[in-house]
Chains A and B, each alone.
Chain A
Amino acid sequence: MIPLSWYLIFAAALFSIGLFGVLARKNAIAILMGIELMLNSVNINLVAFWRYLSPEMITGQVFAIIVFAVAAAEVAVGLALIISVYRRKSTIVAEDIDMLKF
């Protein structure tokens, strides 16, 4: 029997590692990878809460599926933006992408 707490601690650790990747990485694609880690930890939490607290309702799984769809949309647009910036500025380092700086 796995207690709920194990899943929550696992998800919290995965989220923190993903946050570190988002904040510390230079490369824009690596930042997107960190965001993927964070979204995955959120999904673990949603499914764990569904299984432990309200297994008779399916809401948790539906929420996880919508997170899947949003993650796919986010990666598609993010990578398209990175390709577009790469064409114009020949860089994908997040610090150097400062066209919107006032």
Chain B
Amino acid sequence: MTPLQIIFLLVAAISLGGAVMVVTRQNLVHAALWLILVLFGVAVTFVLLNAGFLAMAQVVIYIGAIAILMIFTIMLTRKVAKDTDEQLNSNWWGAGIISLLLFGGVILMLFQWQNFQFNLPNLNPSVDPLLQLGEGLVSPNAFLLPFEIASVLLVAALIGAIMVARERK
């Protein structure tokens, strides 16, 4: 066991435990706080995978914006969503069976794939992945068009969100 493996197992265990809490807690604000823990765990996983920029973006976008937005919405709608009410619907056991079947099926598929035990290739030290990512996002030969389309999608979605949530007189 190397230290990196121990760190990964710890982070994975904490994230999965937090994820179970997210889907089972009665109190939605607590569920949102557990969600923040899971998002941090995923950010640590990105760091372990040498994707520092994505880890930073994960903290800024997911924790800083999405999780906070969710907590705001939970608090705005708290009058109807009482914590004492039953939070799982009547078909929750079916949902559990479907999730377990999916997990088992994916694991079964993965074990039949010969690259499954693939070991880590070394990064080329002369190429900086962050530099490569930045150039890729603005280079017309690489990902300029998808990146611009994602930006337009985001603007359209935010304007749409304002229109949908606006109070009509």
A residues near B, CB below 8 A?
Answer: 1-10, 12-21, 23-27, 29-30, 32-34, 36-37, 40, 43-44, 47-48, 50-53, 55-56, 58-59, 61-62, 64-66, 68-77, 79-84, 86-87, 90-93, 95
Q: A73 to chain B: which residues have CB within 8 Å?
A: 153-154, 156-158
Q: Which of B35, B74, B89, B143 contacts A24 (CB 8 A)?
A: B89
Q: A58 to chain B: which residues have CB within 8 Å?
A: 129, 132-133, 136, 142
**B112 on the interface (CB 8 Å rule)?**
no
Q: B23 to chain A: which residues have CB within 8 Å?
A: 17-18, 20-21, 24-25, 30, 33-34, 37
Q: B95 to chain A: which residues have CB within 8 Å?
A: 19-20, 23-24
B residues near A, CB below 8 A?
Answer: 2, 4-5, 8-9, 12, 15-16, 19-20, 22-23, 28, 31-32, 35, 38-39, 42, 45-46, 48-51, 53-54, 57-58, 61-62, 65-66, 69-70, 73-74, 76-77, 80-81, 85-89, 91-92, 94-96, 98-100, 102-103, 106-107, 110, 115-121, 123-124, 127, 129, 132-133, 136-137, 142-143, 146-147, 150-151, 153-154, 156-158, 160-162, 164-165, 167
Q: Is the CB of B77 within 8 A of A77?
A: no
Q: How far is the CB of B127 from chain A (nearest CB, A)?
A: 7
State whether A10 and B96 are in contact (beta carbons under 8 Å apart), knowing that A30-B87, A55-B124 are contacts in the complex. Answer: no
Q: How far is the CB of A25 from chain B (nearest CB, A)?
A: 6
Q: Is the CB of B133 within 8 A of A24?
A: no
Q: Is the CB of A52 within 8 A of B165?
A: no
Q: A37 to chain B: which residues have CB within 8 Å?
A: 19, 22-23, 35, 38
Q: Which of A6, A64, A74 contacts B8 (CB 8 A)?
A: A6
Starting from the known contacts A10-B12, A12-B103, A72-B157, 6 additional A-B residue pairs (CB-CB under 8 Å) come to: A14-B15, A26-B87, A36-B62, A40-B62, A43-B54, A80-B160
A40 to B54, CA, bound (A): 12
Q: How far is the CB of A97 from chain B (nearest CB, A)?
A: 12
Q: Is the CB of A51 within 8 A of B157?
A: no
Q: Which of A8, A15, A33, A52 contacts B110 (CB 8 A)?
A: A8
Q: Is the CB of A1 within 8 A of B2?
A: yes
A56 to B132, CA, bound (A): 9
A59 to B147, CA, bound (A): 12
A-B contact pairs, 21 of them (CB 8 A): A1-B2, A3-B117, A12-B107, A16-B106, A19-B95, A19-B98, A23-B91, A23-B99, A26-B88, A26-B89, A44-B45, A51-B51, A53-B115, A62-B137, A62-B142, A65-B150, A66-B150, A71-B62, A76-B157, A76-B158, A82-B73
